[in-house]
Amino acid sequence: MTRFRDGDQPVPFVSPGPLPLRDTLAGWQRYRATRGSFVPAPRLDLATWRLLPPRRKMLYDLHRAATHANLPLIATPMSREVEQLLRGRIESNALKQKPTTRAGVMITGGGYQGKTETICEICAGFEDDWVELHRYLNPAALAGMRDMHAPVAYVQTPVTAKPKSTCKAILNFFGADTKNMDLPDLVRHVAASLNDHGTKALVLDDITRLRMHRADDQDVLDLIRAFMSMHVTLVLIGVDIPGSGLLREGRHDPGTGQWVFPPSHNVKVHGLEPTQTERRFDLIELDRFRYTTDEQITAWTAHLTGVEQHLRLMNAAPGMLTAGTMPEYLFRRTDGVVGLLERLIEDGCRHAITTSTETLTEPLLDNIVVSLNGAPGRDATAGEVPNVPATAQKAAGQTGSKKPGQRRNTVFDDHGPASGTGA
């Protein structure tokens, strides 16, 4: 807490406690209730800042750093397409009263492209509306009972997943005791927990941590698909799902655009496959920005305009991120990946404040090296850490032996997973 508003009111820009872990019910509820509550630093000009006492200058600069570290999630044309499909699928499935298998959704894309944050925001928005529709009561609660209502369950796929560890990860979301349970008991408890808590969407993040050459991982995928018998919308998030092997047993239905999977083979004994119903998934890519067509360039520039509005640099002129060659420069530095752009802007703003530059320029950003080595919670072997484009200085050092004007061979460049609509 700090105080430097009119009336000396507190401005909470430092979290008073540990950050919510979304893979628990309490953590998810706290995330849902507090998302979007961050209060950014007020805008001050340089003359006003200079009049502040030293301590208030320090607090204001700290608040600015917190503002740049907590830039809001800005909708993109790609995320709007994902929202339209995912929100519509979850709502339609939640309103079904027929005992039919609910179609699931797979969201694919490269690392640091905002898949998790986008999906969590969409699911949290659905839950906000769903609990309000039911007056914050669980419509599936048993008579005389007050089962907690959890319309959305968010679960991280274990790094070395097995059927038992996957079931335990789901049950841990609900705080259920999993000691001394064999796999059939775990599966039954998962079914009971999803039903008792009124769960409508089960989100399994980082699903491409599964390796389809391992028997355990194949069993996990069978088990996950069988969860669709529990009348929940299964939402799978992963890096490059088409190239991961998760779709190898499926066939693409050109009529519906969905991927169709045969019934699972290894989980019938647990009561999850009472019929031979096929499992269907919509597959959609949350792609990075592109910079080829006029429409794509306009979308990238509009996104930079949205980012610029949330920055607190006192020498920032209008068009700081969008004028001149800056849009092209930022695209070259980030390859259109929103997570890399956020890191570059955040580190650049801190450098601009520290050096009293108070604006972002290409020479200043050339001094910023974005490194994702050892990123916590990321499995590099599963493609969750993208390649970071080199800075202009680094690239010049690497190509110093080339003749002036000689173009670099780009044949083997990795541009990430291709969009479904092409570049």
Domains and CATH numbers, the chain: 37-71+290-398 (no CATH), 77-285 (3.40.50.300)
pLDDT band for 105, please (50, 70, 90 cuts): very high
Q: Give, as one character, the DSSP assignment of residue 178.
A: -
- From the list 341, 342, 343, 367, the residue with the least C-alpha distance to 354 is 367
The answer to whether 175 touches 25, Cβ cutoff 8 Å, is yes
pLDDT band for 346, please (50, 70, 90 cuts): very high
For 303, the token pair is 């996104």
More confident residue, 151 or 145: 151
Q: What CA–CA distance (Å, rounded) separates 139 from 195?
A: 11
Query: What mean pLDDT do residues 145-163 have?
Result: 84
Q: Residue 375's pLDDT is what?
A: 57
Query: What mean pLDDT do residues 268-297 have?
Result: 81
Q: Residue 217's pLDDT is what?
A: 80
Please determine, for residue 377, whether its predicted confidence score (pLDDT) is greater than 70.
no
Please determine, for residue 142, whether its predicted confidence score (pLDDT) is greater than 80.
no
Query: What mean pLDDT do residues 325-336 have?
Result: 96
Residues 6+ apart with CB under 8 A from 341: 307, 330, 334
Q: How far, rounded to the nearest angstrom, does the alpha carbon of residue 359 sit from its chain's CA centroid?
A: 29
Query: What mean pLDDT do residues 311-317 have?
Result: 95
Sign of CA dihedral 142, 147, 151, 155: negative
Global pTM value: 0.83
pLDDT band for 371, please (50, 70, 90 cuts): confident
| Percentage of the chain modeled with pLDDT above 90 | 55
Segment 155-200, tens digit of pLDDT? 999 888 888 899 999 999 999 988 889 888 898 899 889 988 999 9
Query: What mean pLDDT do residues 334-343 have?
Result: 95
Look at strands 251-253 and 258-261 and give their pairing: antiparallel
Q: What CA–CA distance (Å, rounded) separates 281 from 275?
A: 18
More confident residue, 194 or 381: 194
Q: What CA–CA distance (Å, rounded) separates 346 from 353?
A: 11
Q: What are phi and psi of 412, to 5 degrees?
A: -100, 15
Please determine, for residue 401, whether its predicted confidence score (pLDDT) is greater than 70.
no
Q: What is the mean pLDDT of the chain?
A: 83
Query: What mean pLDDT do residues 29-57 have?
Result: 92
Q: Residue 162's pLDDT is what?
A: 85
Q: Residue 275's pLDDT is what?
A: 56
- Beta partners for 155? 204
Look at strands 10-11 and 201-205 and give their pairing: unpaired
Please determine, for residue 119, whether its predicted confidence score (pLDDT) is greater than 80.
yes
Please determine, for residue 408, whether its predicted confidence score (pLDDT) is greater than 70.
no
The answer to whether 334 touches 389, Cβ cutoff 8 Å, is yes
Q: Residue 147's pLDDT is what?
A: 60
Strands (E), 49-197: 104-109, 152-156
Please determine, for residue 384, whether its predicted confidence score (pLDDT) is greater than 80.
no
Q: Residue 144's pLDDT is what?
A: 47
Q: Residue 261's pLDDT is what?
A: 85
Please determine, for residue 269, whether its predicted confidence score (pLDDT) is greater than 50.
no
For 157, the token pair is 């796929």
The answer to whether 332 touches 390, Cβ cutoff 8 Å, is no
Please determine, for residue 44, whether its predicted confidence score (pLDDT) is greater than 60.
yes
Please determine, for residue 274, whether its predicted confidence score (pLDDT) is greater than 60.
no
Query: What mean pLDDT do residues 343-347 have?
Result: 96
Q: Residue 379's pLDDT is what?
A: 63
Please determine, for residue 407, whether its predicted confidence score (pLDDT) is greater than 50.
no
Q: What are phi and psi of 396, to 5 degrees?
A: -65, -40
Please determine, for residue 120, whether its predicted confidence score (pLDDT) is greater than 70.
yes
Residues 6+ apart with CB under 8 A from 98: none
10 Å CB burial of residue 142 (0-12, 13-18, 19+) is exposed
Lowest mean pLDDT among 25-34, 92-101, 108-117: 92-101
| Percentage of the chain modeled with pLDDT above 70 | 78
pLDDT band for 210, please (50, 70, 90 cuts): confident
Look at strands 233-239 and 201-205 and give their pairing: parallel
Query: What mean pLDDT do residues 221-229 have?
Result: 83
10 Å CB burial of residue 254 (0-12, 13-18, 19+) is exposed
Please determine, for residue 15, whether its predicted confidence score (pLDDT) is greater than 60.
yes
Q: What CA–CA distance (Å, rounded) separates 157 from 208?
A: 9
